[in-house]
Amino acid sequence: MGALVKFLLITVLILYAIRLLFRWLFPVVLAKMVNKVQDQANEQARQRNPKPEGSISIDYVPPQPKHGNADKLGDFVDYEEVK
């Protein structure tokens, strides 16, 4: 019985210590990771060549649909709306 109480006490103490470590270390580690990502984003922003204000560049021009003959488009039927 004494071994079981000793085991439970040690387990509770270890879990409490882990909880405290996570409470103190997790925010520090998370802040360092966020700062690292921000630094990388700032570095990439500095490496880009900024364009002068007002300049426009078009990287993609969608293909224009080909206009075919009206005969090839199908049959069109005139109709009147009946009320």
Residue environment code for 14-26, b if the CB has 16+ CB neighbours within 10 A, otherwise e: eeeeeeeeeeeee
pLDDT digits (tens, 9 = 90+) for 32-62: 999 999 999 988 887 776 677 778 878 888 8
pLDDT at 47: 78
Position 50 scores a pLDDT of 67
Q: What is the pLDDT of residue 60?
A: 86
Q: Write the secondary structure of the chain as one string of H (helix), E (strand) and C (coil).
A: CHHHHHHHHHHHHHHHHHHHHHHHHHHHHHHHHHHHHHHHHHHHHHHCCCCCCCCCCCCCCCCCCCCCCHHHHCCCCCCCCCC
Q: Per residue in 7-34, pLDDT tens? A: 999 999 999 999 999 899 999 999 999 9
